[in-house]
Structures are given as C-alpha cells and as structure tokens.
Structure 1
Amino acid sequence: MTTAPEHATSPIKRVLANAGQLLSGRVVNAVVGLAYIALTARSLGKEAMGVLVLINAFAQFLGEVAHFQSWQTVLTYGTGPLLANERVKFQQVLRFSLLLDGISGVLGVALGVAGAWFFWNELRWPEGMSGYGALYALSIPVMSSATGVGLLRLFDRFRFLAAEQAISSLVRMIGCGICALTQAPLPYFLLAWAAGTFASFFYVASIAIWDLNRRGLLKGFSLLGPTSRDMPGVWRFAMATNFSSTLDVGFTHVLTMVVGALLGPAQAALWRIGKQVADGMAKPARLMVPALYPELAKMRASGGQQAMTKLAVQIALLGGAAAGVLLLVSLLAGRWILETVMGQAFGAAAGVMNWQVAAAAIGVMTLPLEPMLVSMRAAGAALVVRLVVVICYFAALVPLITRFGLTGAGAALVVSALAMAIGMYLMARRRLARLAAEDDSARTTKDDEGPKYDHAHGV
C-alpha cells in the first residue's frame, strides 16, 4: 500500500493549488453550464423551462435527502489508515462508504418514483408529466458519486475532479443543442440533462477505481466483510452529515419547489436562473471548500488544532475579498448578464439574483467553519445550527413569498445565510476551546507522572 505523499508546501498553498486545479475545470463548467441552461430557456420558454426546473429540483432534492455524504466518511475515517499503511482498515472504511451509497441509491429511486406518480399535481407539474418525472428519478443514484469524490480528494487528485462537472455540463450542452436544432419537446431536454448526470458519475467512478488499483488498495478487497466494526460513532457521524446536507438543500431545491408551488413555474424559472448565475459567480471561491477538507482531516489526525485555526482564518480573509467582488458585479451588471445569456424575458430575475448573490457572498466569507466542525468530528454541532436556522427559515418563507413574491424569498435567503454563519462560528469556537482544554489536560497529566524509574537499567 502506498501512502499519500508528504508535501513541503504550506497548507494554505496546497489548498489554493488544489482549488486552482478545480477552478480550471469549473471555469469551463461555468461557461458550458450557462450554455445548456440558455439553450433550454430559449428553446422552451419560461413556462416549459419552469416545469423542467421543478422536475429536476424534485429529483435533486430527493437525491440529497437519500444520499449519505459518504465522501466525508472517507476523509474523516480513511485518512488515518491511509497515512498509517493500514490497508485492511482502509478497505473497511471504503466498504462502509459503498454500503452508504447503495442504501442511498435504492431509497432515492423509491422515493422519486413514488413521489412523481402520486404528488405531481401538488408539485405543479402539467398533466402527463408524472411518467417522465418518474423516469428522471432513475438518475437519482448517480447524482452524487460520493465515495469516488471522497477518494479523489483524499488522494489529492483534484486535477481529475476538475473535469467532473464540466463533463456533465458538456454532455448536457450537446444534448440540449441537438434538442434545440430539432425543436424537440420537453421530455427530450430531460433526457439530455439526465445523460449529463450519468456521464459525470461514471467518469469519477472510473478514475477512483484506477487510482485505488494503482496504489494497491484493492488487493484482497471484497464487498463482503466488516463495515462499521471498531469504528465507534461512524453511523452517528454518517447520519449527522447526511441530515445536515439534507437541511442544506432547503436553500436550493426545496426553495425552488416552494416558489413553483406558490407562484407558478414561470417564477420558479426566474428563481432558478438567478440562482444558477449567483452560484456560478460564487463557485471559484467555493472551490476552496473541497480542497480544504483533506487538509483539515490530516491536521485533525495529527493533532494540529492551532494549524487548523490559522488555515481557516486565511481562507476566511480570501473569501471575504471574493465576496465583495461578487456583490459588486451583481449590482452593476446583473441584468445585463441575464439578458445577454438567457434572453430579454429573463432580465426580470435580476432583482432576486442580487439577494441570491448576497446570500452566496455571506457563505463565501464563512466557508471554512463547517469543514472545521466536520473535521473535528463535530458534525452534530453543525447539524444543530442548520436545523434551528432551517426551521425558522421555512416558518417565515411562505408568508414572505405570499406577500412579497420573489423578493421575499431572496430576503429570507440572506437572513438565513447570516444566521447560519453566526451559528457555525460560535460552534467552531466552542469546539476549538474544548480541544485546547483536552490537550492541556493531557500534557499536565503526562508532566505530573514524571520520569519513570527503569529497574533493569538503573534509570
């Protein structure tokens, strides 16, 4: 078994270097992603585009609900065995992660198909679209190649991860281009979007298997064997990270469905278009997060709490600078960007997009906080923060949308992002203080024991 190579460079330089590798692919993805969105929007119009957006949001929501964040399990529990050359233990972590992915896939498809058939009317889908929605739900198991992503992050294979979303967007763009040229109806655009999801999954899985084999980590591996044995708390960790991720989609896919249910597919399309552009603007800064997790996991495994804090502060300062630029661009050029890329009809999304960019900017400024909590195995603390914020968020969401429309939804998003940032900061500070106290206690105990007398050697 080959261990991960040691790097002489500082953690912040490694994070930025890995984020830079991801950025090279995400720049392509941002351009290609806007291209397939634009092709879809211009070909279908606001109403049909809104229906596609609602079906996609429904499937992605269920995918996020069902999917365990097994990549976090790979990083948190697999880093130690990898560094210690414990191949069998590492294979156990891998087996457990694959088990989580299998459970996720079966559950996601079951919920997706049932939901499409029985709740299409409540979701504001047109009559006759339930069958297409059920077929689209078959892509739920491959919407997240979680174990593969975790392995490639652990192995510092960020240059391969850089192409993951670009491949998905490229396949979608080609498919949507064909649909646009042939004036195909909505179901064929759904097929093109699903094809991109499958392409991305198989790409990541293939690279991960190749790298595992190259490192000798598949030698003697079997899907049958121990999973959670001798890994105390791993199921609790998996459930907490899954639930936290599920709550996170309340700010994405669930909100799109709520907007569609209350305001109709056309307004859902405007919301989704604005969110797509806002997320695309924030993406370069957010790429530091996947590059941050492996560094924090390695620091936690070696007891480097002070180094973790220093790295988080450095990332926060960089994120703050990026956040200011994002908001300025949105305020000055948001409408022009939307009308140029999506068409005149979608310029109306500019107002709500400013709110969405502001929320994204707050998230960028505080992006190291949740990775720190997860790396310190305090995923439960992050979950508590998300749970409280999401409950308050959805309690206020329907009245705000009913009274203020898309502006109300955008304002709620900003307030919830701010509350999330404050909560994560307080939890991270509390956890770091506890770890520091434990380290001080351990050092004091060791000093009190003093040197031991060795009778055999007289020392």
Structure 2
Amino acid sequence: MVQNFGWMLSARVLAAVFSLIYLAIITRSLGVSGFGKFALITGAAQFLANLLAFQTWQIIVQYGVVHIENDDSTRLARLYRAAIALDLLSAFVGIGASALILHFFADALGMTPTLARATLIFNVIMLISVRSTPIGILRLHDRFNLAAAADAATPTLRLIGAVSAALVHPKLQGFLIAWAIAELLTFAAHWYAVHRIGELRPILRNGKGLGRVLSDNPDIVRYSLTSNFSQTLFMSVKQIPLLMVGGLTGTAAAGAFRLAAQLSRSLTTVSQMIARAAFPEIVRAVRSQGARSLGTMIAQSFRVAAAVGAVVFVLAVLFGQVLLETIGGSDFGRAYVSLLWLTGAACIDLALVAFEPTIMAARRAHLLFLARLAATALLVVCAILLEPTMGENGVAAAVLVNSIAQAFLLGAIMQRILRRRDTATIPPA
C-alpha cells in the first residue's frame, strides 16, 4: 500500500501545484463573478457526471481479484466489458438530461445561446470522458505508477489550456474549451496506460457472452448498486454546496466559495488517495482473514490522519487569507471564513480515511449509503437554515456538520463490522 500511495501522492502533489497556478490565471482573467459562472458550469457538469456514473473501478477491483487468483482471463474480460457498458449507459443518460435541462432552463440560468451551446458541449465531453473503468483495471493490477502518470495529464493539460486561453481568448468559453480538451486527452491517457499493461487486447478479443457476467460474479448487481449509490452521493455532495451558494447568494459568492473549496479539497483529495491505494489490499486481507484483522491498521491510520489534519488546519488559519488573495485577488479574501469551515470538514474526512474502504471491502456498502444519505440531508437542511444569516459561510458551516454526522455514523458501522466476526468475513465469490 505504501508504494501505491507513493505513486498517487506524486501525481496529487503535481496536481496541487499546477491547480494553484491555473486557478490564479482563471480568477485574474474572469474576475470573481466570471469565475463564479465558470465554477457553476463546471461544478454542475461534474455533479451530473458523478450523479449518473457507476463506480466501476470498485466493481473491477472487488470481483477482478477472484478471476486473477483463478487465472480466468475470459471472465475477467467479461467483467471489463460490463464495466465499459455501464460507463456508456451512464454517459448517454447524462447527455440526454443535460440537453433537456439546458433547453428548458437556459434562459432562467441567464445563459446566452452561445454559452448554452458551449455548456452542453462541455457536459457531453465530461460524460463521455469518465475513466472509472481504466482506473479500476490499473489498480487491480497494482499499476499505480501508470495510473499516476495518466492522472498527471489533467492538471498539466489544464495549465497549458489556461495559459493558452488567457493569451488567445480570455473569456468564459475559452476556458471551458481548455477544460474539455484536457478531459478528453486524460481519458485517452488512461486507456493508453491500459494498453501498456496488455489488458486492452483481452477486452477487444475475449469476454464474449456479456450476459454471463451475472453468474460469473455472484451478488454483483447488489454490490454495484449499493456501492454506486454510496459513491455517487459522496462525489455529488462535493458540488451541492457550490450550487447552493450560486443559487442562494449569487455568482460572485460562488466564485469566492469555489476557490476556498478548491484549497480545502486538497486535503480531502489526500484522504481519497489513501483510500483508493488501500482498497485492493484491504479486499485481499478481508477475503482471507476477515475485517477484524484490520483493527490495528485502522487505529494507526486514524492517529496519523488526525495529526496531519490538525497541522493542516493550523496552516489554514495562519495563511488561508494570504493564499486566497494571492491566487485570486483581494475580492477572494471574503472566502477566508468559508475556507476555515471547509478545512475543518476536510480534516474530519481525513481522520476517517480507512473507514470507507473497509466498509466497502466487507460488503456493507448499503450501510455506507444510508449513513451518507442521512448526512447529506442534514447538510441541505443546515445550509438552508444558516444561509439567510451567514451567507456562503453558512453553507460552508453546513459542510462541517455533514462531516461530523458522517464521522459518528461511519464510526458506528465500523464498530459493528469489527465486533461481529460472522458478519465481517467475506464469503467466497
């Protein structure tokens, strides 16, 4: 897991550095209100992609381990094809939903026909560029080095695109085009990485009889749905606060909030990175020894994550205001309080880093989904109640409430898994 984490860390460090640079370029070019529009368009597209996309990478890792152990390349190829089919289905549904939303609500959203077309094209590209399946294939084979190289394409291409747009067409449409091209090329980079490890040829030549994927992988439908609902909720909830700020407070507030969220999200990204690096090995450990064997590892990760989170929060208190104004300008300093609320939430998420992969590996995804659904409902209610008096800071405070609620609920689920051996051990697939 340490080696896996190392490769992912290198890609994320590069992404963090480059993101600060291209965010500075965009905020300086568009201003706080223009950047707010950009943030709302890209955030809405990401929300839709997350809402409809299946987490096929988890399905591949969960069930692909068995086929590799049995040296069954045909069933593995069928699993890959099924994951691709799910990605395509999600993309087509999302494209239809995007077209309908923009057709009926473009005027209400204040979009010109040109901007509405650009937004639709951007949404289409975001949806067809979902790369969950190639990511799952690379992680299944422990090729985190290639996955990290492919991931590094996104911030690199965004930086190149931001510089190009600032020089050639420093308008909203110019930056949307740059983002869309970056997504397409990153999608291509991930599939090229799959080709490099020799897994693209089996997908094209083997795996016939897609209907047999259900008998090949017992309980895959239930696992796919529950894991998808949980992950969809987790990924989508990142965009809900931004969309609420834009709808309740305005585009200028949304722009400042988006920059604060981006800075705090770097910590959340670290927690996701650790979880994704650990997931393949946790699946193997739980299959062979049961979830109770992970108690020591979870306790250690909790202590380390809590210490790191405390340090990061102190840094946010000391340097957050300066960083916001350095990147975006003085208008973005208004997001300092929001940054503190969001960083506090990210610190809690980091402390819970080992909970999600353990719950998923123990096939308790339905409990994870219910916990996140309850926490998300609490977020929306708190945001609506706090926004009239606190503005965008109230929405940020609601994000912290969401993280605290998740901490209590996921902690209760973990106790149940670790205490009950008979429900913690995964049955043979």
Normalised to the residue count of structure 1, the TM-score between the two structures is 0.87
Counterpart residue identity of residue 242, structure 1: N
Counterpart residue identity of residue 302, structure 2: A
Q: CA deviation at 1:303?
A: 3.0
| Structure-2 residue corresponding to 1:303 | 289
Please state if 1:221 is matched with 2:206.
Answer: yes
Distance 1:96 1:309, change over 3 A: farther
Distance 1:437 1:178, change over 3 A: closer
| Structure-2 residue corresponding to 1:374 | 360
Distance 1:386 1:282, change over 3 A: closer
Aligned-partner SS, 2:214: coil
Q: CA deviation at 1:123?
A: 4.4
| Structure-1 residue corresponding to 2:131 | 145
| Structure-2 residue corresponding to 1:6 | none
Q: Equivalents in 2 of 1:139, 1:180: separation in Å?
A: 21
Q: Contact 1:58/1:253 (CA < 8 Å) preserved in 2?
A: yes
Q: Contact 1:369/1:428 (CA < 8 Å) preserved in 2?
A: yes
Aligned-partner SS, 1:156: coil
Q: Equivalents in 1 of 2:168, 2:287: separation in Å?
A: 55
Q: CA deviation at 1:334?
A: 0.3
Please state if 1:257 is matched with 2:243.
Answer: yes
Q: Equivalents in 2 of 1:329, 1:106: separation in Å?
A: 43
| Structure-1 residue corresponding to 2:252 | 266
Counterpart residue identity of residue 138, structure 1: V
Q: CA deviation at 1:187?
A: 0.7
Q: Equivalents in 1 of 2:238, 2:76: separation in Å?
A: 34
Q: Larger deviation: 429-438 or 58-67? A: 429-438
Aligned-partner SS, 1:163: helix
Q: CA deviation at 1:36?
A: 1.3
Q: Equivalents in 2 of 1:250, 1:220: separation in Å?
A: 35
- Unmatched 5+ residue regions in structure 2? none
Q: Equivalents in 2 of 1:433, 1:47: separation in Å?
A: 52
Q: Contact 2:134/2:191 (CA < 8 Å) preserved in 1?
A: yes
Counterpart residue identity of residue 387, structure 2: I
| Structure-1 residue corresponding to 2:19 | 33
Deviations 1:3-35 (A, max 9, x none): xxxxxxxxxxxx222111111111111111121
Please state if 1:201 is matched with 2:179.
Answer: no
| 1:320-399 equivalent positions in 2, closer than 5 A | 320-399=306-385
Q: Equivalents in 1 of 2:329, 2:263: separation in Å?
A: 14
Please state if 1:51 is matched with 2:37.
Answer: yes
Please state if 1:231 is matched with 2:217.
Answer: yes
Deviations 1:357-397 (A, max 9, x none): 00000000011111111111111110010111112221222
Deviations 1:162-184 (A, max 9, x none): 23332111111111111112343
Q: CA deviation at 1:156?
A: 1.1
Q: Contact 1:282/1:361 (CA < 8 Å) preserved in 2?
A: yes
Distance 1:143 1:322, change over 3 A: farther
Q: Contact 1:285/1:322 (CA < 8 Å) preserved in 2?
A: no
Q: CA deviation at 1:403?
A: 2.3
Q: 1:313 aligns with which of 299, 317, 331?
A: 299
Q: Contact 1:123/1:257 (CA < 8 Å) preserved in 2?
A: no
Deviations 1:27-47 (A, max 9, x none): 111111121111111001111
Q: Contact 2:298/2:354 (CA < 8 Å) preserved in 1?
A: yes
Q: Larger deviation: 108-117 or 59-68? A: 108-117
Counterpart residue identity of residue 112, structure 1: S
Q: CA deviation at 1:250?
A: 4.5
RMSD: 2.0
Q: CA deviation at 1:313?
A: 2.0
Q: Larger deviation: 93-102 or 288-297? A: 93-102
Q: Equivalents in 2 of 1:52, 1:199: separation in Å?
A: 21
Distance 1:328 1:312, change over 3 A: same
| Structure-2 residue corresponding to 1:170 | 156
Counterpart residue identity of residue 67, structure 1: A
**Among the aligned pairs, what percent are the same residue?**
27
Q: Equivalents in 1 of 2:312, 2:271: separation in Å?
A: 10
Q: CA deviation at 1:199?
A: 1.4
| Structure-2 residue corresponding to 1:456 | none
Q: Equivalents in 2 of 1:146, 1:210: separation in Å?
A: 17
Q: CA deviation at 1:246?
A: 2.4
Q: 1:42 aligns with which of 28, 39, 42?
A: 28
Please state if 1:190 is matched with 2:176.
Answer: yes
Structure with a larger share of its residues in helix: 2
Q: Equivalents in 2 of 1:123, 1:392: separation in Å?
A: 27
Distance 1:291 1:249, change over 3 A: closer
Q: 1:131 aligns with which of 117, 120, 130?
A: 117
Please state if 1:109 is matched with 2:109.
Answer: no
- Unmatched 5+ residue regions in structure 1? 1-14, 440-459
Distance 1:26 1:142, change over 3 A: farther
Please state if 1:418 is matched with 2:418.
Answer: no
Q: Contact 1:260/1:267 (CA < 8 Å) preserved in 2?
A: yes
Q: Equivalents in 1 of 2:249, 2:208: separation in Å?
A: 48
Q: CA deviation at 1:274?
A: 0.3
Distance 1:223 1:230, change over 3 A: closer
Distance 1:92 1:341, change over 3 A: same
Q: Contact 1:113/1:137 (CA < 8 Å) preserved in 2?
A: no
Counterpart residue identity of residue 385, structure 2: P
Q: Equivalents in 1 of 2:208, 2:107: separation in Å?
A: 41
Q: Equivalents in 2 of 1:183, 1:230: separation in Å?
A: 52
What number of residue pairs does the alignment pair up?
A: 424
Counterpart residue identity of residue 294, structure 2: M
Q: 1:87 aligns with which of 63, 73, 90?
A: 73
Q: Equivalents in 2 of 1:105, 1:223: separation in Å?
A: 23
Aligned-partner SS, 1:232: coil
Counterpart residue identity of residue 42, structure 1: R
Distance 1:438 1:119, change over 3 A: closer
Counterpart residue identity of residue 320, structure 2: G
